[in-house]
Amino acid sequence: MAQLTRSRQRAPHGAIDLRTTKERFGISTGFDVQKHIESFYAQNPISAAPEQRDELKLRRELCSTELKRYVTEEYEAFIATTATVVSIESDMLKLNNLLGQFQLGLRSLQGSSSVFHYDDEKVGYAMLAQASTRQRKHGN
């Protein structure tokens, strides 16, 4: 609790809170550890190291607490999204299987007919013509 109380204290580089931590150390800032260390020790004596270490620990704890809070708040949405993705994947597999069966059926029909077109209207007429021809041949 004392650390959270201190989290609003002024540090040499600004308030120690989550916002300033993100601004200074966030990935989008292009933060470079080596440059940070060089800059810090160029501006501060070595005796300031323990204070800097404590500030960094506090910032780490703030980030950890915020991350845990965020994960907890978003857990239900994550689970719902995961279930939706699994359902969609299942539907896509079923659709893929049906399309594969349809493709096999079309190839089978194509192999049994010398006049077969992929145009929807022509496919319908070609299939009707084939059925009619078969019925006449078999006397039905």
* Whether residue 104 has pLDDT greater than 50: yes
pLDDT(6) > 50: no
Mean of all residue pLDDT scores within the chain: 79
Helix (H, G, I), strand (E, B) or coil at 11: strand
- Using CA of residue 45, residue 47, residue 50, residue 55, what is the dihedral sign? negative
What is the rounded CA–CA span in Å between residue 49 and residue 41? Answer: 8
Q: pLDDT exceeding 90 applies to what percent of the chain?
A: 38
> Is the per-residue pLDDT at 17 higher than 50?
yes
Mean per-residue pLDDT, 48-72: 91
Residues ≥6 apart with Cβ < 8 Å to 130? 109, 112, 113
Is the model's pLDDT at 123 over the cut of 80? no
Average pLDDT over residues 50-78: 91
Q: In this predicted model, which residue has the larger pLDDT, 107 or 126? A: 107
